[in-house]
Amino acid sequence: MDSPPTDLYGLTRPELHALVDSWGFSGDHAALLWKHLYLGLAGSFEQIPELPARVRSRLASETRIGTVPVSRETASGDGFTRKFLLALPDGERIETVLMRFTGRATACVSSQVGCAMGCVFCATGQMGYRRQLTAGEIVSQAVHAARALRAAPGPHRLRNVVFMGMGEPLHNYDAVMRAVDILRDPSGLGLGAERITLSTVGVVPGIRRMADEARPAHLAVSLHAANQEERAEMVPAARKWPLDELMDACRHFCSRLGRRIFFEWALIDGRNDTAGHAHAVGRLIRGLPAQVNLIPLNPTAGYSGAPSRSEAARRFQRILADGYGLPSTVRQRRGIDIAAGCGQLASPR
C-alpha cells in the first residue's frame, strides 16, 4: 500500500528542506514553499504559482497541505471571540478558539481529541479520550486562526498560541513539541518562546522533560487545590502524579531554565475560593518565580459548581499579593455564550 501523503504542516523547516532536496530540487523551492505556507497562508499548491510545475506536481503526488475545514463557526456576543469546529480527515472534530484583544490576537489550540485526564469540571474531560492530534493538525489550527484574522478587520497578526484547548498537551508530548518548533520558526509564524504557552494538568514526567530539553515555551500548571486530597477529587490525574512530586517538578523547571511558571486556579464558589485556600496556595508556591491565573469557573453540563463571586476573586488576589508577594490575574470571561471559555470545549462525534 502507498504511504499516505506527508502533511506539510507537520514538517519543521529543516525537514521540508531535506524532503525537497531528496527529490533533487533546489533549496530555493523549499524556502519559497515554506514562505507560502506560513506567510502567504496558502491552502493549496495552486496558490503557489511561482513554484515550477514539476515541483508542484511532485508535491501534489507525495504531500498535502493539511488544512482543517470548518464544520461550524460561532462568534461570541462579546465581539472578540470566535470558535471553530474543525473537521479532521478521519471524521473526528476539534475546537479552536480565536480571541482578539486590543492590538493582539491569541489562538487557543487543541492537542488531543477529547482528554484522558477526567477533571470533573471540564467538558473535554467529560467527553473522554478519543485520539492524539498530529503535529500537523495542531499547526493547522494556528494557521487557520491566522487566515481568519487576515480576513477580518482588526489586528492581522497572530501573536500568541496557547495550548489550552481540548486535551492535555504533555500527554501528547512529541507531537506538541514538534508543533512548537514549527510555530516558532522565525521565518514562518515566528511565535517565540514568550508567545507560546502550554497548560498542563500536572504530568510530572512531561514537565521534567520540558525542563531538561529546555523547550522554548511558557508553562502553566493547573493547580486548583493546594493539598493532595482536595486536588485528587477535582483532578483525578493527581492520584498518579501527587502534589509534592508536581511541586518538585515545578521547582526543577524554574531552576533549570531560570524561568517563571504560571499556576492556574479555576475559582469555584465556596469550594476553593476562601481566604484559607488563598493562604494555602500562597504557602505552597511562595519562593517560586510564579504568577497565578485565576479562572472563574465556566459552566459545563457535567458539573454543578458555580463561579466565585468577584469579591472572593479580589480577596484571593489580595492575599496572594500582600501575604506572599505573588502576582495574579483574573482571566477575562470571554466567549462563555458560545461555550468557548476554558474547560468548555468539546466535540460531537
- Number of residues forming the site for ligand SAH (CB under 6 A): 17
What residues between 179 and 208 interact with ligand SF4 by CB under 6 A?
201
In angstroms, the CA 48 to CA 250 distance is: 45
**Partner from ligand SAH, ligand SF4, none contacting 137, C-beta within 5 to 8 A by type:** none
Using CB positions, name the residue nearest to ligand SAH: 343
Considering only residues 66, 125, 216, 341, which one is a binding residue for ligand SF4 as defined by CB under 6 A? Answer: 125
Q: Is 11 helix (H, G, I), strand (E, B) or coil?
A: coil
Q: Is 229 a catalytic residue?
A: no
115-128 as b/e, with b when 16 or more CB fall inside 10 Å?
bebebbbbbbbbbe
Q: Examine residue 124 and tell whether it contacts ligand SF4 (CB under 6 A).
A: yes
| Alpha-carbon distance values, 341 to 93, 172, 337 (Å) | 18, 22, 9
Give, in degrees to the nearest 5, the angle at Cα 262 between 301 and 183: 85
Q: Examine residue 68 and tell whether it contacts ligand SF4 (CB under 6 A).
A: no
In angstroms, the CA 294 to CA 312 distance is: 11
Nearer CB in complex with ligand SAH: 16/292: 292
Q: Is 19 helix (H, G, I), strand (E, B) or coil?
A: helix
DSSP assignment, residue 70? E
**Partner from ligand SAH, ligand SF4, none contacting 342, C-beta within 5 to 8 A by type:** ligand SAH
Strand duo 104-108 + 93-101: pairing: antiparallel
Paired strand residues for 219: 198
Q: Examine residue 117 and tell whether it contacts ligand SF4 (CB under 6 A).
A: yes
Considering only residues 115, 204, 219, 267, which one is a binding residue for ligand SF4 as defined by CB under 6 A? Answer: 115
Q: Examine residue 177 and tell whether it contacts ligand SF4 (CB under 6 A).
A: no
| Residues 6+ away with beta carbon under 8 Å from 115 | 122, 124, 125, 127, 128, 129, 166, 167, 168, 171
Q: Examine residue 180 and tell whether it contacts ligand SAH (CB under 6 A).
A: no
What residues between 240 and 279 interact with ligand SAH by CB under 6 A?
264, 266
CB of 317 to ligand SAH, least distance (A): 17
CB of 83 to ligand SF4, least distance (A): 16
- Residue 202 CB neighbour total at 10 angstroms: 26
Q: Examine residue 122 and tell whether it contacts ligand SAH (CB under 6 A).
A: yes
Nearer CB in complex with ligand SF4: 79/348: 348
Which entry of 108, 115, 250, 342 is annotated as an active-site residue? 342
Copy the grid coordinates of residue 171.
500527554
Q: Examine residue 164 and tell whether it contacts ligand SAH (CB under 6 A).
A: yes
What are φ and ψ of residue 311, in 5° steps? -65, -40
CB of 221 to ligand SF4, least distance (A): 11
Q: Is 95 a catalytic residue?
A: yes
Residues classed as catalytic: 95, 342
